[in-house]
């Protein structure tokens, strides 16, 4: 080997050492940045990335809800279960099993995602299907959804009695097949 080869080998070695030191110094900074960025991830964003997957939701006042995550909006999701559909308010979800490791950032969401739970309930009401309304306190009411307001809905129960329920008290609505 010539002295030039030795010199270039020394420079290559020094450059590799400098790269290794730089990477070692940046690793904690990158980890801090990653943690800081992750605090921007929302539950809805994680669920959006999980659309089409089989999940189990632990829903307050209901218990486990299993099925395919069909649709996700900013404040609710639709789970297609075995013979029934569930409209679940995200605020009522305590645990999730089977969610994607990824998340979809809010800037990538469709404008349709911004529709509230009232939109989903209106559609169910228009179909005229009987359903079970599960509240956060664990009570269950059976009937047909009638009119849906901004933050409440009307449920027509047996005997044509109209019962109002506030969205804030709602955990989930289960279709009755």
Domains of the chain: which residue ranges?
A: 1-39, 43-175
* CATH topology classification for 43-175: SH3 type barrels. (2.30.30)
Residue 68: predicted pLDDT: 97
73-77: long-range contacts, CB 8 A cutoff, minimum separation 24: 73/44, 73/112, 73/113, 73/114, 73/115, 73/116, 73/117, 73/120, 74/44, 74/109, 74/113, 74/114, 74/116, 75/44, 75/116, 75/117, 76/116, 76/117, 76/120, 77/47
Cα distances (Å, whole numbers) of residue 28 to 16, 25, 32, 170? 20, 7, 6, 43
pTM, to two decimals = 0.78
Mean pLDDT throughout 11-36?
67
- Asked whether the predicted pLDDT for residue 6 surpasses 90, the reply is no
* pLDDT: which is higher, 106 or 163: 163
- pLDDT tens for 113-157 read 888 999 999 999 999 889 999 999 999 999 999 999 999 999 999
Confidence of residue 83 (pLDDT cuts 50, 70, 90): confident
Nearest CA among 122, 112, 57, 114 for reference residue 86? 57
Query: What is the separation, in whole angstroms, between the first and last Cα of the chain?
Result: 83
What's the confidence (pLDDT) of residue 94? 97
What integer pLDDT is reported at residue 150 of this predicted model? 94
Look at residue 33 and give its three-state secondary structure.
Answer: helix
pLDDT in the model for residue 65: 96
Within a 10 A sphere around the Cβ of 43, how many other Cβ atoms? Answer: 16
């Amino acid at each position: 080997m010539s002295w030039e080869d030795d010199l270039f080998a020394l420079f290559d070695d020094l450059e590799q050492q400098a790269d290794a030191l730089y990477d070692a110094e940046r690793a904690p900074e990158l980890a801090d940045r990653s943690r800081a960025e992750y605090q921007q991830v929302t539950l809805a964003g994680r669920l959006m990335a999980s659309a089409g997957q089989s999940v189990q939701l632990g829903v307050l006042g209901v218990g486990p809800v299993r099925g395919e995550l069909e649709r996700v909006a900013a404040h609710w999701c639709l789970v297609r279960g075995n013979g029934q559909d569930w409209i679940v308010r995200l605020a009522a979800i305590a645990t999730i099993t089977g969610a994607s490791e990824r998340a979809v950032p809010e800037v990538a969401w469709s404008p349709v995602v911004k529709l509230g739970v009232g939109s989903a309930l209106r559609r169910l009401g228009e179909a005229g299907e009987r359903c079970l309304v599960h509240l956060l306190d664990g009570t269950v009411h059976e009937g047909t959804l009638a009119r849906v307001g901004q933050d409440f809905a009307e449920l027509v129960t047996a005997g044509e009695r109209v019962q109002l329920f506030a969205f804030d008290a709602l955990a989930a609505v289960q279709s009755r097949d």
